[in-house]
Amino acid sequence: MCELLGMSANVPTDICFSFTGFLRRGGETGPHGDGWGIAFYEQGGYREFRDPHPSADSPIARLICEYPIKSNIVISHIRQANVGNVGLANTHPFSREMWGRQWGYAHNGQLQGWQTLELSFYRPIGRTDSEHAFCWLLGELRKRFPQPPEDPGALWETLHGLCERLRALGVFNLLLSDGHYLYCFCSTKLVHITRRAPFGKARLRDADLIVDFVEHTTSNDIVSVIATEALTDNEEWTRMSPGELLVWRHGEISARYGHDTVASEVASSMHKL
Q: Which of 76, 186, 81, 188 is nearest to 129 (CA)?
A: 81
Provide the minimum distance between the beta carbon of 26 and its own copies in the complex, in angstroms, as a whole number.
17
SS3 (DSSP) at 169: coil
Identify residues 112-141 at the interface with its own copies (CB under 8 A): 121-126
Examine residue 93 and say whether the peptide bond preceding it is cis (omega within 30 degrees of 0).
yes
Please give the angle made by the CA atoms of 207, 209 and 210, to the nearest 5 degrees: 140
| Residue 20 binds to its own copies (criterion: CB under 8 A) | no
2 is catalytic: yes
Provide the minimum distance between the beta carbon of 268 and its own copies in the complex, in angstroms, as a whole number.
34
Provide the minimum distance between the beta carbon of 42 and its own copies in the complex, in angstroms, as a whole number.
5
Residue of the chain from 88, 168, 214, 270 that contacts its own copies (CB under 8 A): 88
Identify residues 53-82 at the interface with its own copies (CB under 8 A): 59-60, 63, 66-67
Provide the minimum distance between the beta carbon of 165 and its own copies in the complex, in angstroms, as a whole number.
22
| Residue 101 binds to its own copies (criterion: CB under 8 A) | yes
**Cβ partners under 8 Å of residue 40, min gap 6:** 46, 47, 48, 69, 71, 73, 74
| Residue 28 binds to its own copies (criterion: CB under 8 A) | no
In Å, what is the CA distance from 65 to each residue of 58, 185, 250?
A: 11, 26, 22
Residue 193 and residue 239: Cα distance in Å, rounded? Answer: 9
Q: Could you say which of 2, 135, 184, 186 is catalytic?
A: 2
Which residues contact its own copies (rule: CB under 8 A)? 42-52, 59-60, 63, 66-67, 87-91, 96-97, 99-102, 121-126
